Amino acid sequence: MHITPIKTCGGRICFPSWRDRGSQDFILVEDDVSLTGNEWKRHPIVTGPEAPCILGIDFLRNGYFKDPKGLRWTFGIAAVETGAVKQLNTLPGLSENPSAVGLLKVEEQRVPIPTLTVHRRQYRTTQDAVIPIHKMIHELETQGVVSKTHSPFNSPIWPVRKSDGEWRLTVDYRALNEVTPPLTAAVLDMLELQYELESKAAKWYTRIDIANAFFSIPLAAECRPQFAFTWRGVQYTWNRLPQGWKHSPTICHGLIQAALENGKAPKHLQYINDIMVWGNTTMEVFEEGEKIIQILLEASFAIEKSKVKGPA
């Protein structure tokens, strides 16, 4: 939660006004608050005549406030309307497979070569990660994303458990990153994107997430040895852009941006492989989202059905 210092003024609370940079009186009350809409707990709330909603808006962004009359109020989000709204995840061509990998129709990418050879041994992994790692490597090899190799480079596997309980195969490229020449960053700052999105003040939004976007980008053969890793005595390397390497987000963002520009995509905001579309009607958002999905599929990206949200 964002905390701003406040002070009391004769039993009331003085808080700097966000509108005129003056001050205004706020009242501290207690009432029932729910973050789920079902379970209610009593919390202190600061409110006042010019407060947009209440202080602590970050805390209640997805929550509800129940006033003394029993009426429920939502904070931080507009009321969501989903009834009878056609969803973008019903479009054909979307994948049911969370491990789906595309292969972008571009030349194999020549990426910066490190100034020194980096060789780091594999460190011990947790027991519960062993079977998932073996399974992921086998699947990625079948998909052509990784292949066996012999390289003077080596970096340790660093598996990451995702929020859904599944695992992501990443490699600890910190040592490699230190000796890799720089690239000009082309990825916008997340906070700037958030401000820009909020400025749209649109009623409807949709989100499109390209599945395994890094793994869709082919690497030139001469650039692959630097990304080698070893598992169970066998050395592999990436044939596609790996996760964990310092320039992967920049390269991926630029190629997706180019694909959308070449396809004359309608208005959108992009952060690497996440794309937001907005509008004032469901039809507007659906049609523009559909156009963007068609452009991405034609470029041979994979899009997982469950990662397409809206219009909502």
The pLDDT tens digits for 225-281 are 999 999 999 999 999 999 999 999 999 999 999 999 999 999 999 999 999 999 999
Residue reference for tokens 């793994």: 215
**Phi then psi for 9, rounded to 5 degrees?**
-135, 95
CA distances to 112, 259, 273 from 156, rounded to whole Å, are: 20, 33, 25
Q: Which pair of tokens denotes residue 272?
A: 């690497």
**Phi then psi for 171, rounded to 5 degrees?**
-120, 140
Which range has the worst mean pLDDT, 8-12, 176-180, 278-282? 8-12
Query: What are the chain's domains?
Result: 7-74 (no CATH), 88-309 (3.10.10.10)
- CA 102 to centroid of chain Cα atoms: 18
**Average confidence score pLDDT of the chain:** 82
Give residue 66's identity as a one-letter amino acid code. Answer: K
The total number of residues shown for the chain amounts to: 312
pTM of the model: 0.73
Residue 47, pLDDT > 90, answer no
Whether 301 and 93 have beta carbons less than 8 Å apart is answered as: no
Model confidence pLDDT, tens digit, residues 62-105: 455 555 666 655 554 444 455 578 899 999 999 999 999 999 99
**Overall average pLDDT of the 212-216 stretch:** 97
